[in-house]
Amino acid sequence: MTKPTPKRAWGQAIQNRDEQFEMKRQVVLRTAARTYSERGFHETTLADIAEELNISKPTLYYYFKNKDEILFECHRLGIEAITDGETPMPAAGSCTGRERLEEFLRRYVRMVVDDFGTCLVMTGPNALEPKNRGKVIEGRRKIDQMLRDILQEGAQDGTLDCPDPKMTAMFVFGAMNWLPRWYHSDGGLNIDKLTERLIAFVMRAIAADRCQS
């Protein structure tokens, strides 16, 4: 509870030098993402992050340019978790809009419950410096467009019934982005059940065949 991050995760595992470096970077990022999400970006000091890792503040600067870059990397990883998943989204036309929607929701929920996704959604892009902010906003816009396209496609192939894809997309994103604020993986609620419930909710709202499950 007080120390969720395992101590001494720092200097173990004598691998290649570069791998070691990269690995430590990742550890910093995870810790930062969690802390940013819990307390907020501005409420989190670099000293906090350092303390949680049992290292000193200057050490952070050996791995990152500044506080802003740490946040940016968290956001970047969150965005990538959706845009470039290991298995690509089924291409448009390869299946019905409804099926693609379900796949998208499943991915998005998985992402948004992860440390980086949570961080992406909890700490807005406002905190970022202009240049990075632009990139993050662009990334989010792409994700936004993905869902809109899917809804559009579903409306055309007749598997979905939503009059206004843009607005509907916003409702759905809202429901999903709110999730990190109340769902905690350590609670009794398991994530698969949650995902199914959310999909059921959305599908009832916009699937075209309204008189079946």
Partner DNA sequence: CATTTTGTTGACCCATGGGTCGAACAACAA
Partner DNA sequence: TTGTTGTTCGACCCATGGGTCAACAAAATG
User: Contact positions toward DNA, by CB under 7 A?
Assistant: 10-11, 14, 17, 20-21, 24, 44-47, 54-59, 61-63, 66-68
Residue among 63, 13, 70, 5 at smallest CA distance from 36: 70
Among 80, 138, 164, 192, binds its own copies (CB under 8 A): 164
CB of 43 to DNA, least distance (A): 7
3-class state of residue 72 by DSSP = helix
Nearer to DNA, 119 or 150 (CB): 119
CB of 186 to DNA, least distance (A): 27
Instruction: Classify each residue of 99-116 as buried b or exposed e, where b means 16 or more C-beta atoms within 10 Å of its C-beta.
Output: ebbbbbbebbbbbbbbbb
Nearer to its own copies, 86 or 182 (CB): 182
Task: Output the CA–CA distances (angstroms, integers) from residue 3 to 14, 31, 118, in the order listed.
Answer: 24, 11, 19
Residues 39-98, interacting with its own copies (CB under 8 A): 39-40, 42-43
Decide: is 206 part of the binding site for its own copies (CB under 8 A). Answer: yes
**Got the DSSP string for 25-48?**
HHHHHHHHHHHHHHH-TTT--HHH
Beta strands in 33-180 (DSSP E): none
Residues that bind its own copies (CB under 8 A): 39-40, 42-43, 124, 126-127, 163-164, 167-168, 170-179, 181-182, 194, 197-198, 201-202, 204-206, 210-211
